[in-house]
Structure 1
Amino acid sequence: MSDNDFALFQSATLGVKPLRRDDRADTGVRQRDRRQITSRRQAAMQQVETQQIDGLSDQFVIDVAAEDDLHWARDGVQEGQMRKLRAGQIAFEGSLDLHGMSVEKARETLWAFLAEAIRLEVRCVRITHGKAARLDGKRPMVKSHVNTWLRQHPQVLGFTSCLPRHGGTGAVYVLLKRTMLEGRDE
């Protein structure tokens, strides 16, 4: 650096005081309150734990009559499997009765039941939804909701109304996806 450059620098910085290390520029950003952040995170975690998100929508419910025969299969499910299911040739390994439950209670119970059946690698279950006509003359609520919910559940391959000895149009056989456990050959 030449003497001219140094003199120019000194004149340009005349009256400037160096900052001490503990002085910080005010950026206008408030310091975060760690306690408040921690309490908000904990509250959010508790709220998520109490919400049960099951993926079953009630936005559009397929209205069915008490005596309507239910039958549905996901794309790709073999028709032969559905014929066997309809004929009662696939044994159900679990059964759930939703009689007398509110729609919301039926939903919670059905979701928990299917989760357990899937965890246990069950192939087929029976769900008794009933078919009672309502006092207001409308169609059966639980039957209509079960018909809609089963179509939405990702592990349900198909379902069909049961044989009369297993509940007829008041119940359905449900075929579930499963990962093949070692030694099973279905």
Structure 2
Amino acid sequence: MPDEPNDDLNLFRQATAGVKRIRADDRADTGKPRASREQIQYKRQQATQAADRIRVDGLSDQFVVDVEPEEFLAWAGNGVQDSQLRKLKSGQIAFDGSIDLHGMTVEKARNLLWDFLAEATRLEVRCVRVTHGKAVRKDGRKPILKSHVNTWLRQHAKVLAFSSCLPRHGGTGSVYVLLRRDMLEGRED
């Protein structure tokens, strides 16, 4: 048994006899200078900052249409079939995730909604529910979050359609959101 390691070493030497060792200075010249650690770190920071700018620009507040507390919301992007929208309105498309934005500031709600939709898209979820509330106010002001959610969902590239929920799922205080799925093929729904 003690001879086996030497036998393996001898076998390896025999198998590699005549092979020339490659040194680090023998590498091919690609014509591009190697990036320093500082350059790589700078590029990473720039990429992170660019993603943050896209997030804020992705859901704009420049033009928000005020909606009534009990108003039924429904919207479909180009290419969404009427039958799909009818199924969504009637709750026939099951939702696989839900988020509640009650009582949040507009900025916090926007960030959480963006993250929620990004995660649902990453997981290839077909339909989610977003609860925005109705905010029926004595002073007569319109519901702020409901109006913003109505605007944001129309702007989001992955949102195909949305509709106010059935009463058992939150009624006009929530919406079903139909999302675009890109990666899965062969689905029939």
TM-score by length of 2: 0.71
1:27-176 to 2 correspondences below 5 Å: 45=46, 48=49, 51-54=52-55, 55-134=58-137, 136-176=139-179
SS at match of 1:53: helix
Q: How many pairs align?
A: 148
| Aligned-residue CA RMSD (Å) | 2.4
Q: Higher helix proportion, which one?
A: 2
SS at match of 1:51: helix
Deviation of 1:69 (Å): 0.3
For 1:77, give the aligned amino acid: V
Distance in 1 between residues matched to 2:168 and 2:96, nearest whole Å: 16
Distance in 2 between residues matched to 1:58 and 1:50, nearest whole Å: 18
For 1:103, give the aligned amino acid: V
Task: Determine what percentage of the aligned residue pairs are the same residue.
Answer: 66
For 1:86, give the aligned amino acid: K
Deviation of 1:127 (Å): 0.3
| Per-residue Cα deviation, 1:54-78 (whole angstroms, up to 9, x for no partner) | 2111000010010000000001100
Distance in 2 between residues matched to 1:93 and 1:56, nearest whole Å: 23
Unaligned runs of 5+ in 2: 1-38
Unaligned runs of 5+ in 1: 1-37
Change (3 A) 1:182 1:51: closer
Change (3 A) 1:74 1:170: same
1:185 is aligned to 188
Query: Rg: which structure is higher?
Result: 1
TM-score by length of 1: 0.72
Change (3 A) 1:47 1:89: closer
Distance in 2 between residues matched to 1:185 and 1:50, nearest whole Å: 33
